[in-house]
Amino acid sequence: MAGLQELRFPEEKPLLRGQDAAELENSDTFLLAVDTDWKEHDIETPYGLLHVVIRGSPKGNRPAIVTYHDVGLNHKLCFNTFFNFEDMQEITKHFVVCHVDAPGQQVGASQFPQGYQFPSMEQLAAMLPSVVQHFGFKYVIGIGVGAGAYVLAKFALIFPDLVEGLVLINIDPNGKGWIDWAATKLSSLTSTLPDTVLSHLFRQEELVSNTELVQSYRQQIGNVVNQANLQLFWNMYNSRRDLDINRPGTVPNAKTLRCPVMLVVGDNAPAEEGVVECNSKLDPTTTTFLKMADSGGLPQVTQPGKLTEAFKYFLQGMGYMPSASMTRLARSRTSSLTSASSVDGSRPQACTHSESSEGLGQVNHTMEVSC
């Protein structure tokens, strides 16, 4: 095992500051984007229509970037801040980008008829090959948050040949136990649906301290997403089963994600425990774990710059964008790392990256990034 190599990063404050509160009260902050190049599609799948938006066209053998949002959100509320971030444009110009909305969660969605059976989490994953086939993607790199991360992980387990890499933010690989189910049921009786969802997105400390961000999401969840449809998605997510994954070598015939994975969680996120457990169940030679300081429950919203840099390194570790600029990282690096043998995360202050000489030079990507 090679020695640890340390990287230091200049401090970067969260994107959402007090002076932006007025903007956050306006839904345009989340919903308006540079949408002129995006095209909407409703795609037939074995379990109903799936709304997606896409920009670009397949580029040779390059995978498409496919996103899946968390429960309570849609692709705009979940990913607009991240994909509109200036440095992210250097990535997206090289890939076709496809945002998937869970059934009935997109802006302006009609309410499902009474008696509609919302797809299970496994069925949501089984809808995605129809998207891949519709656009002619050879394979994808998935970026999922919360419930969307679970769906993409399930998709990769069922259809491993279609997935080249995954960025899983706030993933919880565990199903709800009886105590968790009872607590969720009680919360639904005493709180509004938006407030119940907010407790899934943010830990109590952030609900109290980051009032501008929380109030903005409370407003958007209540006004933008159809509440009856959201309730169906929320109920199905809380009925999910454990992801059937185990670290190779820990149990006979262990199943795990075969592709490179970057796990991401904020240091003050409700999902922190779940992400740590997911990390313990994945192959350490193909897994990167980023614990991001000062990012809370939605790191793609509060720290898009740092997440973008980490994503660039993740892509470089897979052999893409070898000449992509790493301005902030390049200035702050204290060790020389080559893109062919490293996948680095990024956060202010310091992180460590460990390399393994075992198995034909395979790299141990598992690491923790924190202040």
Per-residue pLDDT tens digits for 34-59: 455 899 999 999 999 999 999 988 87
Task: Give a yes or no: residue 236 inside a domain.
Answer: yes
Question: Could you give the number of structural domains in the chain?
Answer: 1
Residue 26 lies in a domain: no
pLDDT of 326: 55
**Residue 19 within a domain:** no
* CATH for 279: 3.40.50.1820
The residue segments making up the domain with residue 290 are: 38-175+226-321
Any domain includes 329: no
pLDDT for position 185: 60
342 within some domain: no
Check residue 88 and give its pLDDT.
96
The pLDDT tens digits for 69-109 are 999 999 999 999 999 999 999 999 999 999 999 999 999 99
Regarding pTM above 0.85, the answer is: no
Whether 196 is covered by a domain: the verdict is no
Low-confidence stretches of the chain (pLDDT < 70) are 1-36, 177-190, 324-371
Which pairs with CB-CB distance under 8 Å and at least 24 residues apart come from 15-24?
A: 15/81, 15/301, 15/302, 15/303, 15/304, 15/305, 16/210, 16/212, 16/213, 16/301, 16/302, 18/212, 20/212, 21/212, 24/212, 24/213, 24/215, 24/216
Q: Tell me whether residue 6 is in a domain.
A: no
Is residue 357 in a domain? no
pLDDT at 190: 58
Q: What is the pLDDT of residue 321?
A: 84
